[in-house]
């Protein structure tokens, strides 16, 4: 008994010591690799993300405000990221609270990254898209701009949280080398480019074989390719996806499926507006998929050649079908930030505004801001102090999405 008690004391001490030893580091646009990594002496972003600085499990790397412009490279995929935490002690990479951090050129997450949480960054490419539609080119060199976006080639148990990803050649490129990871609460819009045959570049292009990839609580809209392109050839795998609580609207096809049979596909409580949703592609037989609690408005759903399909509590309303009266509000709080939620309003009567009940999220006395997801750092659509009354929100179209912050 005494030995067990002594061992428990050691475990508690080590856990407490680990929390004490967790450090906060800083990088800035004017930082250097030889700096201390402190507020007054910040690192450069390249050495900090590439694992060349003493960042260990449990540490946080704070990025200071500003535009971090990656050196122009045709098809450049941004700064390599090689940071490893451990279970219960992830490495966090975040913008400083209240500071806008723009990564102009993208991120490239590689092994040995693991237990890495990347938060609250804006990822874009500032070079303009080609002025005219681009003919097919397997090398993509004729784009004459960096690829940009969030590119995830490796790493396990990582989380990509509340990122704003827009105007890249592709929003998120998320491959089979990344396992048991999650994309949560991101706003992904207006990615891709015009081709002479069709639009290219997707909001999310992904493949998966081992572990589960979770795509949750994101807003996807606009762009010139697919919204979700979970797709692969006969040599690739599109297995084990949990797609949950997303809002996808006025965007390209939302596809999960390829030439290889898919399995373990779960599509839960999402809202789709004005788009096509397709499960299964060219594989002769897929294994299993589950669709529960989804809203499909002005959208088409196709389920192709699955041996087992569980469909429950989905609601499909076609573009020509009679609308209900009034409105419907969909509120999706963030799993990682109790101060944040995504809000969707279906305005069946097409009135200029809708009174949205958000009392399950806002309490009387809370300060709040309502933001346009495609203008996140612009002026709020609405702000003030909650009094327990519904929020009167402008609704210029039948469906409008917002970001709701308690700050």
Q: Where are the domains of the chain?
A: 23-317, 329-405
Judge: domain 23-317, CATH 3.40.50.300: no
β-bridge mates for residue 268, sequence order = 244, 292
The helix or strand, by DSSP H or E, that contains position 5, with its residue range, turns out to be helix 2-21
β-bridge mates for residue 197, sequence order = none
Contact 302, 257 (CB under 8 A): no
Q: Report which DSSP code applies to 213.
A: E
**What would the two tokens of residue 106 be?**
């993208």
- Mean pLDDT of residues grouped by 10 in the chain (407 residues)? 41 42 95 98 98 98 97 84 98 97 97 98 96 92 93 97 98 98 98 95 98 98 98 96 98 97 98 98 97 98 97 96 97 98 98 97 97 98 97 98 96
For residue 20, give the 3-state DSSP assignment.
helix
Contact 237, 204 (CB under 8 A): no
CA gap 280, 344 in Å, rounded: 27
pLDDT score recorded for residue 12: 39
CA gap 56, 92 in Å, rounded: 10
Contact 391, 360 (CB under 8 A): no
pLDDT score recorded for residue 53: 98
Name the architecture of domain 329-405.
Answer: Sandwich (2.60)
CA gap 276, 299 in Å, rounded: 5
CA gap 85, 115 in Å, rounded: 5
CA gap 147, 169 in Å, rounded: 5
Contact 192, 200 (CB under 8 A): yes
β-bridge mates for residue 228, sequence order = 204, 254
CA gap 94, 117 in Å, rounded: 8
């Amino acid at each position: 008994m005494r030995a067990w008690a002594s061992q428990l004391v050691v475990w508690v001490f080590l856990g407490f010591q680990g929390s004490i030893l967790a450090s906060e580091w800083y990088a800035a646009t004017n930082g250097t690799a030889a700096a201390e990594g402190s507020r007054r002496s910040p690192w450069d972003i390249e050495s900090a993300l590439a694992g060349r600085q003493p960042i260990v499990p449990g540490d946080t790397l704070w990025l200071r405000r500003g535009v971090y412009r990656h050196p122009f490279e045709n098809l450049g995929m941004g700064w390599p990221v090689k940071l490893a935490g451990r279970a219960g002690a992830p490495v966090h990479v975040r913008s400083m609270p209240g500071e806008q951090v723009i990564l102009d050129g993208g991120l490239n997450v590689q092994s040995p990254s693991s237990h890495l949480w990347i938060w609250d960054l804006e990822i874009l490419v500032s070079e303009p898209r080609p002025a005219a539609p681009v003919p097919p080119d397997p090398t993509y060199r004729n784009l004459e701009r960096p690829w940009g976006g969030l590119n995830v080639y490796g790493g396990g148990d990582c989380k990509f949280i509340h990122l704003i990803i827009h105007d890249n050649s592709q929003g998120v490129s998320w491959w089979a080398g990344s396992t048991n990871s999650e994309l949560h609460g991101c706003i992904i819009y207006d990615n891709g480019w015009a081709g002479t045959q069709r639009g290219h570049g997707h909001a999310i292009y992904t493949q998966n074989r081992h572990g589960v990839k979770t795509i949750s609580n994101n807003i996807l809209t606009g762009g010139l390719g697919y919204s979700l392109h979970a797709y692969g050839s006969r040599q690739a795998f599109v297995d084990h996806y949990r797609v949950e609580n997303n809002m996808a609207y006025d965007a390209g096809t939302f596809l999960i499926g390829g030439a290889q049979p898919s399995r373990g596909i779960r599509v839960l409580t999402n809202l789709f507006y004005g788009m096509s949703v397709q499960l299964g592609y060219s594989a002769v037989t897929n294994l299993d998929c589950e669709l529960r609690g989804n809203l499909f408005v002005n959208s088409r759903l196709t389920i192709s050649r699955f041996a087992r399909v569980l469909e429950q509590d989905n609601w499909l309303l076609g573009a020509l079908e009679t609308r209900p009266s009034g409105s419907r509000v969909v509120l999706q709080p963030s799993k990682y930030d109790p101060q944040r939620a995504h809000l969707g309003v279906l305005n069946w009567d097409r009135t200029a505004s809708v009174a949205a009940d958000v009392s399950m999220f806002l309490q009387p006395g809370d300060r709040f801001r309502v933001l346009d997801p495609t203008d996140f750092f612009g002026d709020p659509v609405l702000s003030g102090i909650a009094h327990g009354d519904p929020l009167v929100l402008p609704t210029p179209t039948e469906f409008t999405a917002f970001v709701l912050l308690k700050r």
